[in-house]
Amino acid sequence: MRRLIGGLFAAFALLTGATIYISHRSWDGLVDRRYSETAANEFAGREAEARMGFTAVLTDRYLAGENRFRAVLSTSAGPLRGARVTLDAMRIDGPRNDRSFPLREEAPGAYAADVLLPLPGRWIFSLSVDADPLHARRRWTAEAKPSDEAGILRGVLGGREVLLSITPWPPRAMRELDFTATLPGYAGKAPPYVDLSMAGMEMGRNRVDLSRGEDGRYRGTGVFVRCPGGRRDWEATVTAPGAGKAVFHLAVAD
């Protein structure tokens, strides 16, 4: 019995010693080796922004679904013109829904883009502004709130606003969904329909036939198939025969 207990203690001591030795050899410490360089670059960038009087006024409210993001940028010399501006949106639960949006200058110093946040919850945003010699960055987190507006996509068809509603939202692949199209002023004899497709990829015909309800809206059911390549970006094209088409961009949740 004593030999057994002694052997167990010896094995435990050997295992403990080996663990300490391996940890000592492989541990790099708590400090990132590049911390000083990263911090120096960050401080230098902030100092350059301060010297130029850089300011940024950003959209601060978000919903799950389509959002209109706007950044108004200026320096002490006035509106910041001709900059390259990009917004990155990232989920804290992993990179599956991460996406990047280039912003277009729609007025002097005002940059905007339609930003699709397919899921409610916490998002991390990063705004990059490049206008030599200015290289500015802004990072923040925000909550995308669920909303009755989520799943309502807006477009233009025949000079009129057209709405396409998809429920439940966010849409998921291989699940039946309800499509509702609101087409003010459309009086065509043939009912409209929705084609589901992916830009640059042949997914086969996937059409949602719509029928008119008593409220004047057109409804139908359809399914987004799962892309073998893992893509989740889709286009839903509403066609009103004789009146034109409206293309909506969206992302499925899985």
Each residue's pLDDT, cut to its tens digit, for the chain (254 residues) gives 556 555 555 555 555 555 554 444 444 444 555 655 555 556 666 788 899 999 999 998 887 777 789 999 999 999 999 999 999 999 887 787 789 999 999 999 999 998 888 777 889 999 999 998 999 999 999 988 765 555 788 888 888 888 999 988 888 999 999 999 999 889 888 999 999 999 888 888 999 999 999 888 999 999 999 998 888 889 999 999 999 999 998 888 87
CATH numeric code, 152-251: 2.60.40.1930
What pLDDT does residue 57 have?
Answer: 95
pTM over the 0.85 mark: no
Q: Where in the chain is the domain with CATH 2.60.40.10?
A: 38-145
Q: What span, in angstroms and rounded, lies between the C-alpha atoms of 126 and 137?
A: 7
pLDDT digits (tens, 9 = 90+) for 18-74: 555 444 444 444 455 565 555 555 666 678 889 999 999 999 888 777 778 999 999
- Which letter does DSSP use for residue 6 in this model? H
Residues comprising the chain, all counted: 254
Q: How far is CA 254 from CA 9, 52, 162, 171, in A?
A: 52, 44, 26, 8
What pLDDT does residue 253 have?
Answer: 81
- Which letter does DSSP use for residue 192 in this model? P
**In contact, 116 and 250? CB cutoff 8 Å:** yes
| 117: nearest Cα among 170, 154, 65, 59 | 65
User: 218: which 2 tokens?
Assistant: 């057109």
Q: Is 247 exposed, middle or buried (0-12, 13-18, 19+ CB in 10 A)?
A: middle
What pLDDT does residue 152 have?
Answer: 80
Counts of helices then strands in the chain (DSSP H, E): 2, 18
What pLDDT does residue 218 have?
Answer: 95
What pLDDT does residue 25 have?
Answer: 47
pLDDT digits (tens, 9 = 90+) for 116-128: 887 778 899 999 9
Name the β-bridge partners of 248: 236
**CATH number assigned to the domain with residue range 38-145, chosen from the 4 options 2.60.40.10, 3.50.50.60, 3.40.50.620, 3.20.20.140:** 2.60.40.10
Q: How far is CA 45 from the centre of its chain?
A: 26
What pLDDT does residue 230 have?
Answer: 87
Q: Where in the chain is the domain with CATH 2.60.40.1930?
A: 152-251
